[in-house]
Chains A and B, each alone.
Chain A
Amino acid sequence: MSAFKLDIIASDRHFFSGDCNAIVLPAIDGEHGVLPGHEDMVTAIKSGEFRMQVDGEWKNVAVSDGFADIKPDSVVVIVDTAEWPEEIDINRAERARQRAEDKLRQRQSLREYYHTQAALSRAMARLKVTKK
């Protein structure tokens, strides 16, 4: 099975480094699948579920905003945070989701609105990854 080198770098740690068969990343315009030999591409990532196939096995990762630099033989993903499902505190994510939803119902400034929306999508991404 052909593979490419994948690096996932979060702001607080080098999250993952190793060979990978395929990834599906949450880009700003929808999900993007990347296989070995992909054309050179740069894309922005929004918070969501990041899937990668290592040794034939699919793994899920919750990522937040960042970007990806894709080359035929390597992919570098740079994100604010990246977490394995088992690292996520479901209760905390659930609380964050409720808090964000409550806030969205109230009147707020445009910047606050974007913040809340970002918080909501981060919480949703975490919850989605842990549901599997």
Chain B
Amino acid sequence: MANMREIRTRMKSIQDTMKITNAMYLISSSKLKQARKKLDNTMPYFNALTSTIADIMSLLPYDASYKYIEDGSNLIPEEKKRRLYIVMTADKGLAGAYNHNVLKMTEENLKKGENNVIFMIGQMGRNYFNRKNIVIDCEFLYIAQNPTLLRSRAVAESALDLFDSNEIDEVYIVFNKMINSMSCECETLKILPLERSAFEKKQGEYVHQATFSPSPKAVLQNLVPNYVKGIIYCALVEAFSSEQNSRMTAMESATNNAKDMLRDLSLIYNRARQAAITQEITEIVSGANSLSANSN
């Protein structure tokens, strides 16, 4: 039979931990509410951005090749391609599998080729790759906590600088995406170069061409950086929202587990208490019996 005091200290420590997890649950649920609101406000932008770019891609004249657009002329073999990954992790842990999923997916991506460049957003990923001695080429701090257009512009510019100076061939972002209000999923999204095929319209749909004013080149020169920045911003907002979401679920299940443990422990505790009392009574009764037997 377990010691009563031992059980009590155990229960005390579980209660203390539960207070923390419960507080974290409350904090992340209120943060999630704000993040969700921001996400809802950004969603129309994201949808319009992707659909309009798709539209523009289909309108683009075929007679010339453009820097930002994949036209099949780039014949570098898959494993030789220089890829840039923008990895979005959280600044803090205790969010279930959130960070783990992103890092795992990034590592899988890194295996595809030897020439990788990593842009890291968030502390957790930075610590992880530092431990593994994988070189991070550029770090962006404080962004994961508070995504703004200004900060995503900084990320987009650094990526475009590398792309423009022909140091990389492809740009990807790895981030967590909200599937519905309860679950999120890790995703690798290719942002550069733009592919016509990815945006190809369905067969039979009316195909038309548009004027690009002043010229396709000038428009793309302005449009593509804007698109990259917008996509990065949306991904950041999405990642922040799913971070809060997974932290909330993780903390909720931690609190529930603590409650279960407390219930089991209090049962054992009561049993131990009863056993102790029973034992005491038996001792007293048997003592009294032996006393009365002696006096008789």
Contact = CB atoms under 8 A, between A and B. Distances in A.
B233 interface: yes
Nearest to B209: A40
Nearest to B208: A40
Interface in B157-188: 157
A43 B213 contact: yes
Contact of A11 (B45, B59, B214): B45
B230 interface: yes
B276 interface: no
A28 B42 CA distance: 25
Interface stretch (A52-60, A64-72, A83-91, A92-100): A64-72
Interface in B217-239: 218-219, 221-223, 226, 229-230, 233
A7 interface: yes
A25 to B, nearest CB: 11
B268 interface: no
Given A28-B218, A40-B208, A12 B42 contact: yes
A65 to B, nearest CB: 6
Contact of A41 (B38, B213, B222, B233): B213
A67 B157 contact: no
B149 A11 contact: yes
A27 B213 contact: yes
Contacts of B49: 9, 78
B36 to A, nearest CB: 14
B200 to A, nearest CB: 17
A9 B234 CA distance: 14
A4 to B, nearest CB: 15
A58 to B, nearest CB: 23
B294 interface: no
Nearest to A79: B226
B41 interface: yes
Contact of B223 (A32, A39, A67): A67
Contacts of B221: 44
A65 B44 contact: no
B149 A42 contact: no
Contacts of A7: 48
B222 A13 contact: no
B211 interface: yes
Interface in A1-44: 7, 9-14, 27-29, 32, 39-44
A46 interface: yes
A21 B2 CA distance: 82
A34 to B, nearest CB: 11
A9 B44 contact: yes
A40 B211 contact: yes
Given A67-B219, A78-B49, A111-B157, A42 B210 contact: yes
Given A12-B41, A12-B42, A67 B48 contact: no
A30 B56 CA distance: 21
Given A11-B230, A78-B49, 13 more contacts: A7-B48, A10-B45, A11-B233, A27-B213, A28-B219, A28-B222, A32-B213, A43-B212, A43-B214, A44-B218, A69-B52, A70-B210, A81-B149
21 contacts: A7-B48, A9-B45, A11-B230, A12-B38, A14-B45, A27-B214, A28-B218, A29-B218, A40-B211, A41-B211, A42-B213, A43-B213, A66-B226, A67-B52, A67-B56, A67-B223, A67-B226, A76-B48, A78-B45, A78-B230, A80-B149
Q: Which 4 A-B pairs have the closest CB atoms?
A: A40-B210, A44-B222, A29-B214, A14-B44
